[in-house]
Amino acid sequence: MQGFYFWAWRKGLRSKPFLQDRCKVSRTHVKNRFKNRFKIVVSKPNKLFMNIRIGNGYDLHRLVSDRRLILGGVEIPYEKGLLGHSDADVLTHAIMDAMLGALALGDIGHYFPPSDPQWAGADSIMLLQQVQGLIGAQGWRVNNLDAMVIAEAPKLKPHIKAMRDRLSQAMNLSIDCVSVKATTNEGMDAIGQKEAIAVHAVVLLVQ
């Protein structure tokens, strides 16, 4: 509006009634445009917005001897592995829990109970694909995921890309929709003492 006043002054249109009238018209015009846009958003929400759900997953497994260490479907060279009924892929488990949680479908223990022998040593990537089929049957798909692996050892940075590649292939996602990060617990608690590895995961589902 200040720009208009300067233009009016340059053109010699300095009369107060003219400026007041022009200001009134401008404010009314802006107000009407805002109201019209608001009506469009309210009356046709499905045309402008897609349905989304957000899920959070968490898992933790102990590190023990004589077990393979598998994270995100990738075997990591290390002297210890994660203890669990399946392959104990803590990263993939957290992602599955986030997917199920987004649709209030419970957790992976409900679908793959540790008491069931058929899941002994199971490939968690295969279980992930089953969960993806479950949410797909309800009309949902994963848009993107973000996971944080908390481990004091081993160092995971050299393996991050391989984990992202494996997960993106298994979930049929673009690599830039799969984020995997790693951090430590600065020597604190069981994770900091190299006794366990934990993962937090967040997943966005769209319909």
CATH number at residue 195: 3.30.1330.50
**Could you tell me if 72 and 159 lie in one domain?**
yes
Distance from C-alpha of 22 to C-alpha of 178, rounded to nearest angstrom: 53
Average pLDDT over residues 11-17: 51
CA distances from 5 to 8, 30, 72, 117 (A): 5, 17, 62, 80
Together in a domain, 77 and 157 = yes
What is the tally of structural domains in the chain?
2
Q: Do 57 and 149 touch, CB atoms closer than 8 A?
A: no
CA distances, 113 to each of 96, 134, 158 (Å) = 14, 16, 32
pLDDT tens per residue across span 109-148: 999 998 999 999 899 999 999 999 999 999 999 999 999 9
Residue with the bigger pLDDT between 202 and 10: it is: 202
Same domain, 202 and 122: yes
Tell me if 130 sits within 8 A of 170, measured CB to CB.
no
Do 14 and 78 share a domain, yes or no?
no
Q: What does DSSP say about strands 69-71 and 74-76: parallel, antiparallel, or unpaired? A: antiparallel
Of the listed ranges 2-16, 57-71, 158-172, the least confidently predicted one is 2-16
Which range of residues forms the domain containing residue 38? Answer: 2-48
* Same domain, yes or no: 56 and 135: yes
- The model carries a pTM of 0.77
Statement to judge: residues 124 and 145 lie in one domain = yes
**111 and 195 part of one domain:** yes
Q: Cα-flanking dihedrals φ and ψ of residue 80, to 5°? A: -130, 165
